[in-house]
Amino acid sequence: MNKDIATPVRTRAILEKYGFSFKKSLGQNFLIDTNILNRIVDHANLTDESGVIEVGPGIGALTEQIARRSKKVVAFEIDQRLLPILEETLAPYGNTTIIHSDVLKADVASMMATEFAGFTDVMVVANLPYYVTTPIIMKLLEEKLPIRGIVVMLQKEVAERIAAKPGTKDYGSLSIAVQYYTEAETVMIVPKTVFVPQPNVDSAVIRLTVRTTPKVAVKSEAFFFQITKASFAQRRKTILNNLISQLPEGKEKKEEILAALSKVHIEPTRRGETLSIEEFAVLSDALLPHFQ
C-alpha cells in the first residue's frame, strides 16, 4: 500500500519539494485528513466498475483515494504548477488521467464519450474550489451528462442553500435549480481545521443524485429558471412585485401576471421562498404564453 498523500507531514514535504505556494485566486485548500477523504469517497458508493470525474485534484489527495476504489479517474486541473506534482504523487495509480483544463470551458460530454466509453456508472467526486462551486455544479447538471450523481465538498453555507426546503431562509433559485435535476442532501460537515491553508469557513459534503426525469415537468426549462430567478431577485418583495420588476415588459403586463397567479391559485402577496418547486412549475407554464 502506498503512503497516503493526505497526511500533514507528506503534504508539507510535497509542497516544499516543489516550492509550491497557494494561489488565493484559485481557491486552493488542500485536505490533510485521510479519514475525511475516505468518508467523502464512501458517500459516492463506488465499485470497481465505476468511472469518476474529479475537478481540482490539487496534489492528488482525494484522487488517490478514489483511484483505489474505482476503475478510472479523470481529473481536470487548471493550475499548470500542479501537473508535475500530480505526475509524481499519482504515479502508483495507472487508472488516473489528468486533463490540464478549466472544467468550465471543457467539453465534458466528449471527454466522457472517449474516456468512459462502455462505462455504465460515472460519478463526479471533488473538493471544489470555493469561488466557482455553483457554476461548476450547474454546468454539470445543465449539460445533462450521463452521470449517476455528484459528491462534492463546498462551503457549508452553499451546501445549505442547495439542500434547502421551501419556507427557509436558505431556500432560493439555487435550491430549485439543483433540486430540479437532482435529489440533494448534505451528508457531512467538515471543520476548517483539516485543510491547508485553513479556510475562513467550515465546509460540507453534499450528495446530488441525478433524477431520471426532472422533479417537475415544464413547457420551457429556460423560462422556468427565469421565473424562479426573478421571484428571488429581492427577497423582501412579494412574488408579484418581483415578477413585475424583473420580467421583460413586466410593468406593462401586470394584469397578465395577476391573471396567471390567480389561475394557479398563488396569492400575489406571497414571497418567493414560500413557493414549492411544483408551484413554480405551474406558475411558469401559466405565464409562458404572455412572455413568448
pLDDT at 215: 97
pLDDT at 28: 72
203: number of Cβ within 10 Å: 27
Q: Does 54 count as an annotated binding residue?
A: no
Which is it for strands 96-100 and 72-77: parallel, antiparallel or unpaired? Answer: parallel
pLDDT at 1: 63
Q: Does 56 count as an annotated binding residue?
A: yes
Q: Does 127 count as an annotated binding residue?
A: yes
Q: What is the mean pLDDT of each run of 10 residues along the chain (292 residues)?
A: 85 89 72 93 98 96 97 96 95 97 97 98 93 94 97 95 95 97 96 86 95 97 97 94 95 96 97 97 97 88
Domains and CATH numbers, the chain: 8-210 (3.40.50.150), 221-290 (1.10.8.100)
Q: Does 31 count as an annotated binding residue?
A: yes
**DSSP notation for 51-68:** EEEEE--TTSHHHHHHHH
Q: Does 95 count as an annotated binding residue?
A: no
Q: Does 221 count as an annotated binding residue?
A: no
pLDDT at 103: 96
pLDDT at 273: 95
How many whole angstroms separate alpha carbon 150 and alpha carbon 43? 10
pTM over 0.95: no
How many whole angstroms separate alpha carbon 192 and alpha carbon 178? 25
